[in-house]
Structure 1
Amino acid sequence: MSSIGWKDSYVGQLRDLIGHKKLIHPSIRAIIRDAEGKVLFLDRKGENQWGMPAGSMELNESIYETLTREVKEETGIHVIKATLVAIYTGPHKSIKNDFGDEYQMFEFLFLVDEWSGELLRETDETQNAEFFPLDRLPIGSKNFWDYHHKEVLQDLSHFKGQLFLK
């Protein structure tokens, strides 16, 4: 299973054109649970940080296609059914990566209701994958991601079918 490199991605191409200026780009985050209710986290290669399956939209795909592609690339599993739980867009949700690139989050949070296939522990993008209980979540590399993971799981716990817009 092969994914395109970051430089060839839509966001990578935009970065080449505009440098470090702030960007808004649509992305997804997937909450995937096992039969016991544990949540899937991935250890990303080269970053030594745990995070939920997530990634940016590419040209010529829908946000749902982004979800299915990113989950497949990062986990090897196939999304059968998913529910949109929240959309995060607030300007206070700006982050800066290690290269000085700033992004205003525009993230669609999905709960993957049904999936098939075998979870891959290692992919082109990840070096480990594990389901964690809610009271023992792994630590991400930056405080922002630790906070955001807790926020999305809290939003999921309060989700009653009404989309959260933040």
Structure 2
Amino acid sequence: MGDYIGDLRKFVGTRPIIMCGANVILINSQNEILLHHRTDRDWWGLPGGAMELGESLEETARREVFEEVGLKCGELKLFNIYSGEKQYYKYPDGNEVYNVTATYLCRDYIGKISVDLKEGRDARFFSLDRIPSNLSYTIKGTIYEFLERSQKGNL
């Protein structure tokens, strides 16, 4: 698999681009969700990332979860798709993106959490009443929507 975004950056520099990707809300048997602590910022987020050429969104979600936290996803259920102004992100290196992100729910996974230290400091499950306050701003809305739908029993 290549590095599509890296190759694209050679042509456009740090200017804003539209970046498609996927992330996953992994839910354990205690109804806790897995959050991934990023290395580039002191933020917790969902495991996920950018789509590579030829991948489906589901393949992106599975690959990114495995690369970042070492878990293999089984069934993925589409939760929502996020795009627009709230999905703007400027990386510490100056690269700017407008994310279009498919978020999936997954209760069916195998493996043991193993964090890729190039991308994350930690990954662990949090109870829904103990979500850290330092969430990545591009996924805050996703987490809040998940919490609201969970409370209403709409999942």
Q: Same fold (TM over 0.5)?
A: yes
Match of 2:4 among 7, 10, 19: 10
Decide whether the 8 Å contact of 1:38 with 1:132 is kept in 2: yes
Alpha-carbon distance in structure 2 between the residues aligned to 1:107 and 1:155: 19
Q: Given that residues 109 and 152 in structure 1 are in contact (C-alpha distance below 8 angstroms), is that contact kept between their aligned partners in structure 2?
A: no
CA distance in 2, matches of 1:128, 1:105: 23
Are residues 26 and 131 of structure 1, via their aligned partners in 2, closer, same or farther at CA, if it must alter by over 3 Å? same
Which structure 1 residue ranges, 4+ long, deviate > 4 Å from structure 2?
158-161
Q: Choose from 66, 74, 97 the match for 2:68.
A: 74
Residue 9 of structure 1: how far off its partner (Å): 2.2
Identity of aligned residues (%): 29
Cα drift, residue 39 of structure 1: 0.7
Distance verdict in 2 for CA 1:34–1:98, change over 3 Å: same
CA offset digits 1:22-59 (Å, max 9, x no partner): 11111111100111111101122353322110100011
Show the counterpart of 2:57.
Answer: 63
- How far 1:10 moved relative to its partner? 1.3
Which of residues 1, 13, 31 is equivalent to 1:19?
13
What is the CA RMSD across the aligned residues, in angstroms?
2.4
Q: Deviations over 1:125-158 (max 9, x none)?
A: 222111111111123365x246334334246536
CA contact under 8 A between 2:40 and 2:92: conserved in structure 1? no
Q: 1:147 aligns with which of 140, 143, 146?
A: 140
Choose 24-33 or 125-134, whichever is displaced more: 125-134
Cα offset for 1:102? 2.0
Q: Do 2:69 and 2:116's aligned partners in 1 also have CA atoms closer than 8 Å?
A: yes
Which of 89, 93, 113 does residue 95 from structure 1 map onto? Answer: 89
In structure 2, C-alpha distance between the alignment counterparts of 1:155 and 1:14, rounded to whole Å: 37
Moved more, 152-161 or 69-78: 152-161
Tell me, in whole angstroms, the C-alpha distance in 2 between the residues paired with 1:145 and 1:90. Answer: 10
The gaps in structure 1 that reach 5 residues or longer are: 162-166
Provide the C-alpha distance between the structure 1 equivalents of 2:139 and 2:65, rounded to a whole number of angstroms: 20
Alpha-carbon distance between aligned partners in 1 of 2:22 and 2:82, rounded to the nearest angstrom:
10
**How many positions carry a matched residue from both structures?**
153
Report the Cα distance in structure 1 between the residues aligned to 2:105 and 2:52, rounded to whole angstroms: 21
Query: Scaled by the length of structure 2, what TM-score is found?
Result: 0.84
- TM-score when normalising by structure 1: 0.79
